[in-house]
């Protein structure tokens, strides 16, 4: 199997509980929270108030944002173009007389600037270069739970303004949960729907492509490079490249990811994130990174 060599981006090792929810920003920084979110599962969301420390990594430089009295456990985070932080909770409760505000925007001085609702079932969240918020929802956010008979995420993917107004929903023949999303610029939005396994490419709310994927391929994080769909298969620990054959993306080749010493980077605790054409891998030895190109995938 061919090999791709990753660079050692940071010597800092993220705790296990922080890796799966870590976020890579558009400017190649890493955001994470060092806390077990299941500690908050049984707390009353109406009275929930906790302090959280958001860590921002720029290679080996770490900046901490201590945010007080957050009214929800933050599971998703990203930054706007002005550097302000967006924190969101995956869950959002609705009752007959109350809707939980499950998103907040904070200044770099940890001051709350705004709060609003993005709905229940948030799985992916990313802000594009026009400060539009793209959200992918898991099944309960699509079909309804937590008091939502018609959930905000019924379309699987929704684009919001920076203040939470719905701007766009894709019009697709089938709707299902959306577990893989890659947003770098407004003209480069890629989303993978799990039902029948399909990928869409959006450019400023216009559908550029909508293609099926061979259902035998395990789809993890995704990116598109020219005509190649790239994903990471956790089962095999390999980077998989798919290309269209008769209109369907099928597996063409796979690569092992190694460090500069030739050591394989995949293990049972490794987590891969993709943003634009940047790939980040988190494991017990630090953070590794590479900018993927068409030449590397040949």
89 lies in some domain: yes
Which two tokens mark 218?
A: 């395990």
Per-residue model confidence as pLDDT tens digits over 253-288: 999 999 999 999 999 999 999 999 999 999 999 999
Per-residue model confidence as pLDDT tens digits over 24-34: 999 999 999 99
296 lies in some domain: no
- The answer to whether the beta carbons of residues 156 and 144 sit under 8 Å apart is no
Residue environment code for 98-112, b if the CB has 16+ CB neighbours within 10 A, otherwise e: eebbbbbbbeeebee
196 lies in some domain: yes
- The answer to whether the beta carbons of residues 134 and 183 sit under 8 Å apart is yes
Query: Higher pLDDT residue, 197 or 240?
Result: 240
- Structural domain total, the chain: 1
46 lies in some domain: yes
Q: Which has the minimum average pLDDT: 168-182, 225-239, 245-259, 277-291?
A: 168-182
User: Cβ-count burial of 174 within 10 angstroms (0-12 exposed, 13-18 middle, 19+ buried)?
Assistant: exposed
267 lies in some domain: yes
Per-residue model confidence as pLDDT tens digits over 88-140: 999 999 999 999 999 999 999 999 999 999 999 999 999 999 999 999 999 99
Which domain, by its residues, includes 160?
Answer: 2-291
97 lies in some domain: yes
Integer distance in angstroms from the first to the last C-alpha of the chain? Answer: 13
**What are the φ and ψ backbone dihedral angles of 139, each rounded to 5 degrees?**
-55, -40
pLDDT at residue 172 above 80? no
Per-residue model confidence as pLDDT tens digits over 15-25: 999 999 999 99
Query: What is the spatial distance between Cα 167 and Cα 190, in angstroms, rounded to a whole number?
Result: 17
Mention every residue, 6+ apart, whose C-beta is less than 8 A from residue 38.
none
297 lies in some domain: no
| Tokens 């939470």 -> residue | 164
- Confidence at residue 38, expressed as pLDDT on a 0 to 100 scale: 74
- The answer to whether the beta carbons of residues 32 and 20 sit under 8 Å apart is no
- Confidence at residue 173, expressed as pLDDT on a 0 to 100 scale: 66
CATH number at residue 209: 2.120.10.30
Beta strands at 206-213 and 248-258: parallel, antiparallel or unpaired:
parallel
281 lies in some domain: yes
């Amino acid at each position: 199997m061919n090999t791709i060599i990753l660079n050692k981006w940071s010597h800092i090792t993220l705790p296990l509980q922080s890796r799966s929810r870590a976020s890579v920003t558009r400017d190649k920084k890493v955001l994470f929270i060092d806390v077990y979110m299941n500690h908050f599962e049984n707390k009353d969301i109406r009275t929930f108030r906790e302090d959280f420390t958001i860590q921002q990594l720029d290679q080996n430089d770490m900046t901490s944002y201590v945010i007080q009295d957050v009214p929800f456990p933050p599971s998703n985070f990203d930054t706007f173009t002005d550097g302000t932080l967006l924190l969101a909770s995956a869950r959002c409760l609705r009752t007959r007389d109350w809707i939980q505000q499950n998103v907040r925007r904070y200044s770099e001085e940890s001051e709350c600037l705004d709060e609003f609702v993005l709905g229940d079932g948030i799985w992916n969240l990313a802000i594009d270069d026009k400060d539009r918020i793209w959200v992918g929802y898991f099944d309960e956010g699509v079909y309804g739970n937590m008091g939502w008979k018609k959930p905000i995420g019924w379309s699987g993917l929704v684009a919001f303004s920076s203040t939470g107004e719905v701007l766009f929903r894709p019009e697709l023949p089938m709707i299902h949960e959306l577990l893989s999303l890659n947003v770098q610029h407004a003209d480069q939005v890629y989303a993978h729907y799990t039902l029948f396994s399909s990928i869409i490419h959006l450019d400023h709310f216009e559908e550029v492509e909508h293609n099926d994927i061979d259902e035998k391929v395990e789809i993890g994080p995704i990116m598109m490079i020219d005509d190649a769909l790239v994903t990471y298969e956790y089962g095999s620990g390999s980077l998989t490249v798919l290309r269209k054959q008769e209109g369907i993306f099928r597996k063409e080749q796979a690569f092992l990811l190694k460090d500069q010493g030739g050591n394989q980077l995949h293990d049972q605790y490794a987590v891969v994130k993709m943003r634009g054409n940047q790939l980040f891998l988190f494991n017990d030895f630090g953070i590794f990174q590479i900018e993927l190109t068409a030449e590397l995938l040949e």
